[in-house]
Chains A and B, each alone.
Chain A
Amino acid sequence: MKLRDIAIGANASMYYRLNFKKIRGVYYPRTETDVLAAIAFARDNGYDVTPKGGGSGLSGACTGGDTDRIMMSSLQMTEMLAISKDIGYVDVQPGLTPDEINAVLEPMGMKLFVAPSSRDIATVGGILSTDGGGNDTWVNGTMRDNTIKVRMVTYDGRKLTVSHEGVKSDDPDLEAELTKKGMTIHDVASSHGTLGFITELKLVIRPVVGETLVGSLAEFPDYDTLGQAVDGMIKRESPIRYGETIVMAHPDVREGFNPPLLILQYPEEYESELKEFVDIKRLDTDEFERLKDIRIKLPKRNPMEGVQFALFEGYGFHEESLRNMQHTLDEIDTLLKSHDLVPFGKYGHAPSKWYLGDNTAAYGIIMHSREIRPEGKTGTELLQTVLDIVEKCDSLGVTPKPEHKWPFDDEAKSSRLNELREVIGPGFNSFILDEACDDVLSSMV
């Protein structure tokens, strides 16, 4: 074993104590040919393949669990293959981040409109595999809405091109079977590396339009008023270009602000309509940038004492759970506290959009939650808390992990992935769909 076999386990989730002995090879391919060779090695030895991008995912999916496996990183697949400003697309390898892509596009006045807070490290391959999005998902959609098609390689080395319209393959039988199953990009979105390795993506790029945008702050007396304000924006299809909420923040990182609050940016001419249903205070550019900075750094900051951690990275409040947010949050906080967890920060994209496991779109607040890492809790206890949260979310009408669609809490998604894997074959990130997934994850906390 070498340090490269261990360092590949570095990831942002709380599942980071891997059984390194089960990692049978670490690959950093540069081309599809390299990918095929690595997969062939895994296949010949009966090992699983775990794709990894930036390792910023919070579900532990890029760890590969404790299967005998090879780890395949996309971090050296960072070529920009083609750009068409006229048609509006860019062809890229999967290891590029939105920041890297946009650095090239910016001088052309074009942009990829996918902006997770982790866009400095999250790769486009990883973002599609979790169907991530950012504070502009409300206007610009999630990663799947911005992906035209992907090329991927399956465990038996066959090649697929999957788009919104359907699927193509170098193997006509496979193509026919997957077409019968109706495979589209929706299936690749949130598939957590269980179907194959994405080697190339064709992404939508659009011109940056010169709108005059203004920023403002809305502070709320309670969570219901916050939820109802966001619900109002959804109903009116408000043109919010940037919408973030800080629901609560530990006093050490609050920096004088008073959550719950919303940080909003919208076209100047929309302000009068927004004022009809939300009490907003206009911010100058510096104040607005400062608030944005406070928000974006919340997932990384720590309290004076202790360290924050992401026990359960996302809650999707929509419909009733959004309008009755006070009740929903009280229930969640009571549950967290009963498990001895001290809330550290709750914040997220608002209004936002995500997809449910059956591929219907939902609109509301994607709230990330961080707690202070408790001392002396076992992995099993923490995972039990996660499972209790999932159950609680179901009873409250909240989407658990809306940005991640972690298949183990999404029956529709996991059965669809299993259905496709019957055709494509297993071999990719299998632990996720395994019944023992909970135990494996808890062993890594």
Chain B
Amino acid sequence: MMSTSYDKCVRCGSCVKFCPLFNAVGEEQYSPRGKTYLLQVMDQIEDDPELAKEFRQLLFQCTLCGRCSEVCSSDVDLLKVWHEQRAKAVQMAPEEFEYLDALRDALANVANIYGLDPEDRAIYWLDELEDDIPGLEDRVYEKGKTADTMVFLGCLMSFRGSQMDVLRSLFTMLEEVGEDYLVMGAEENCCGHPLYLMGDEKGAEDLRKHNRSVIENAQAKKVVTCCPGCLIQLREHHNLKNAEALHHTQYFDQKMETTPKYNQTKELAYHDPCELHRILGIKTEPRSLLKKLGVEYREMEASCCGGGGLLRMTDPGLSDIIIQARSAKEKLRDTVVVTACPSCREQLLASENRTKDIIELLADASEGGAE
């Protein structure tokens, strides 16, 4: 049943100025209140096909950062509303979302967002990192292998060269703490997050099924991922019976009571990935690690980098405006932005910011503190 929790919106406006889309464009239709209001008066406008179409488009001009849900004191579950409305929009007018077909087809056919051969999931990074991490090839899951911990890389980290340093650091640290781990490799399907963000629950579930059986067959007790989007899927939607899904910051914070100190030479700022801290509620572990590393850092405003909710696909121009405005407002030019999300990393790099994942700091510190 469709939720009508947007009826509970009293249009107080408290969410308006927190919304990255509103701040990027400055017009009310982009704000959460603007959209709940449009839903409240939909009976007055839905007969106009152009307006209905515009509204469907507007639903995808949102990073699903959840800031509005967090701010709202009127019990309006805005994130749920946006998810439901997106599903409804795609169902009502699939032809308007043809630009998402390539992504959907790729996920249906090869189970990754890039449309690449599934076998390639463990090719690029393996080639690159084999020398640095001896025995890495043996860590790639095959039928019959078991381990305490399964590493779920996700599409971005499996295929993007820009993520290589994070991967190197992740494997270095897993070796360092002596973890018994496997990487899902070619047996990993996309976690289903992109489909979930389009409201395609069935498509997402089709992808999850395989992951679930691989994790179960490997008898893993933990699944570790660096990607908050994947973690949402693994923790909340994969229905894993015997394995606990953890973000890498949680895993290492639990595992390492103390860490070597990081040799800091640059100004650092910590950016909370929206899906990590707001949706999954993981706020303390990244900070606890930073504290153990002894770094001094500035807290950034808890707002979005502009990369979430598929916005990079649905409206890259707006996505760029959000990160550029953010970089200017928070004076990031001389700062290295520390974060813990491959998607935020892509967004930061694309806007010429310097960034490091927390795991990179950890690996640097362990390797002798070199920055």
Residues of chain A at the chain B interface (Cβ within 8 Å): 1-4, 6-12, 16-18, 20, 26, 28, 54-56, 73, 75-76, 97, 100, 118, 120-122, 297, 299-302, 307-310
Closest 8 CB pairs of A and B: A7-B29, A121-B13, A10-B37, A300-B73, A7-B34, A7-B28, A297-B73, A3-B29
* Per-position binary interface string of chain B over residues 140-175, scored 1 when its CB falls under 8 Å from any chain A CB and 0 otherwise: 000000000000000000000000000000000000
Chain B nearest CB: distance from A34 CB in Å?
12
Once the chains are docked, how many angstroms separate the CA of A363 from the CA of B48?
51
Contacts of B244 in A (CB 8 A): none
Contact status B28-A12, CB under 8 Å: no
Q: A6-B41, A301-B74 are in contact. Are A121 and B27 (CB under 8 A)?
A: no
Q: A300-B73, A300-B74, A302-B75 are in contact. Are A10 and B28 (CB under 8 A)?
A: yes
CB neighbors of A among B21-38 (8 A): 26-29, 31, 33-35, 37-38
Contacts of A309 in B (CB 8 A): 10
Interface segment out of the listed B50-58, B88-96, B230-238, B272-280: B50-58
Can you list 16 pairs linking A and B with CB atoms under 8 Å apart?
Answer: A3-B29, A4-B27, A9-B41, A10-B13, A16-B40, A54-B13, A55-B13, A56-B12, A75-B27, A118-B13, A120-B17, A121-B13, A121-B16, A300-B72, A302-B8, A307-B10
Q: A6-B38, A6-B51 are in contact. Are A121 and B29 (CB under 8 A)?
A: no
Contact status B29-A118, CB under 8 Å: no
Contacts of B16 in A (CB 8 A): 54, 121
Contact status B26-A76, CB under 8 Å: yes
Candidate in B13, B35, B73 with the most chain A CB atoms within 10 angstroms: B13
Contacts of A76 in B (CB 8 A): 26
Instruction: Please give 20 more A-B residue pairs, beta carbons under 8 A apart, in addition to A56-B13, A300-B73.
Output: A1-B48, A3-B29, A3-B38, A6-B29, A6-B41, A6-B51, A9-B37, A10-B11, A11-B11, A54-B16, A55-B28, A75-B28, A118-B14, A120-B14, A120-B17, A121-B14, A307-B7, A307-B8, A309-B10, A310-B10
Is B44 located at the chain interface by the 8 A CB criterion? yes
Chain A nearest CB: distance from B33 CB in Å?
5
Is B45 located at the chain interface by the 8 A CB criterion? yes
Contact status A10-B33, CB under 8 Å: yes
Contacts of B29 in A (CB 8 A): 3-4, 6-7
Interface size on B, residues (CB 8 A): 32
Residue of A8, A18, A20, A100 near B28 (CB, 8 A) is A8
Chain B nearest CB: distance from A286 CB in Å?
19
Once the chains are docked, how many angstroms separate the CA of A11 from the CA of B74?
15
Once the chains are docked, how many angstroms separate the CA of A26 from the CA of B34?
14
Chain A nearest CB: distance from B3 CB in Å?
14
Chain A residue nearest to B48 (CB atoms) is A1
Chain A residue nearest to B16 (CB atoms) is A121
Candidate in B7, B27, B54, B72 with the most chain A CB atoms within 10 angstroms: B27
CB neighbors of A among B55-103 (8 A): 55, 58, 72-75
Chain A nearest CB: distance from B325 CB in Å?
13
Chain A nearest CB: distance from B37 CB in Å?
4
Contact status A12-B12, CB under 8 Å: yes
Q: A121-B17, A300-B10, A308-B10 are in contact. Are A3 and B74 (CB under 8 A)?
A: no
Chain B residue nearest to A296 (CB atoms) is B73
Chain B nearest CB: distance from A318 CB in Å?
27
Q: A7-B29, A8-B28, A73-B28 are in contact. Are A300 and B12 (CB under 8 A)?
A: yes
Contacts of A301 in B (CB 8 A): 73-75
Once the chains are docked, how many angstroms separate the CA of A121 from the CA of B38?
19
CB neighbors of A among B300-353 (8 A): none
Once the chains are docked, how many angstroms separate the CA of A10 from the CA of B12?
9
Chain B nearest CB: distance from A91 CB in Å?
21
Once the chains are docked, how many angstroms separate the CA of A300 from the CA of B11?
9
Contacts of A300 in B (CB 8 A): 10, 12, 14, 72-74
Contacts of B12 in A (CB 8 A): 12, 56, 118, 121, 299-300
